[in-house]
Amino acid sequence: MNIWSKRRNVIIGGIAVLVAGSVAAAALAAQTSRPTAAAGTRVVSSSERAALLRKAVRFRTLAHELILRREAERHGRRVTAASAPDPAALAAIKDMAIEFAALNGEPNPQNGLVFSSTRKFAESVVNGDIVDTDQPVYVAVFHGSFIGYMASVPNSGQFPTGNTMTVVFDANSLEVTDWGLVQTTPDTTRLGPATPLGF
């Protein structure tokens, strides 16, 4: 076989490999970029979703540090109902609200407010459900374009959507006791004065 035949064979083989690689790459891209929202809703790509998850982790870490610091500073002092959130609680709630938003498809939540209340009353105001405990809580309400990726649904992939999220935090531990995703902002006037979350 002369040199030109060898070169031709190399070129043919190289083209075959490039084609095969392109086919494989296209197939892989098709798998990983599958939209994850139900029909008719905003679509979040896999890369956007990955960025949102990284943001959620970042803000959770910040919140966790604030919560630990707050626990150390409080020396076991208990929060009473209707008292405004202390600065550490406010900062942690803000970070967790951003985390919540990111986990549910919204990179930039807006118009966040927090209220002080008790759990049963807060739930009766924001969604009407009746819950089992009634401790002092903080209620965060914020807005955006949310896809409820953290929701449990009976039909695969049909996540709820909404423009308002509500999150209820135990005022002492700052653990979330309830959260919701709705299309219509609840009337929060009965919850009393609001403190801005700073976004």
Q: Using the rule CB under 8 A, which residue among 64, 118, 195, 199 binds another protein?
A: 64
Query: Would you say the C-alpha torsion 72, 67, 86, 122 has a positive or negative sign?
Result: negative
Q: Closer CB to another protein, residue 91 or residue 116?
A: 91
As given in the structure block, the two tokens for residue 64 are 């966790």
Q: Is 129:117 a contact under the CB 8 Å cutoff?
A: no
What amino acid occupies position 3? I
63 binds another protein (CB under 8 A): yes
Q: Which stretch binds another protein (CB under 8 A): 51-59, 79-87, 108-116, 187-195?
A: 51-59
Interface residue with another protein among 33, 34, 42, 45 (CB under 8 A) is 34
Tell me, what DSSP letter sits at residue 116? E
Count CA atoms within 13 Å of residue 190 on its CB side.
10
Is the distance from CB of 93 to CB of 199 less than 8 angstroms? Answer: no
Which of 84, 113, 178, 195: binder of another protein (CB under 8 A)?
A: 178
Residue whose C-alpha is closest to residue 116's, from 140, 143, 94, 91: 140
- Asked whether position 121 contacts another protein by CB under 8 A, the answer is no
Q: Which is nearer to another protein, 85 or 193 (CB)?
A: 85
Q: Counting contacts by CB under 8 A, is residue 5 touching another protein?
A: yes
Among 173, 190, 192, 198, binds another protein (CB under 8 A): 173
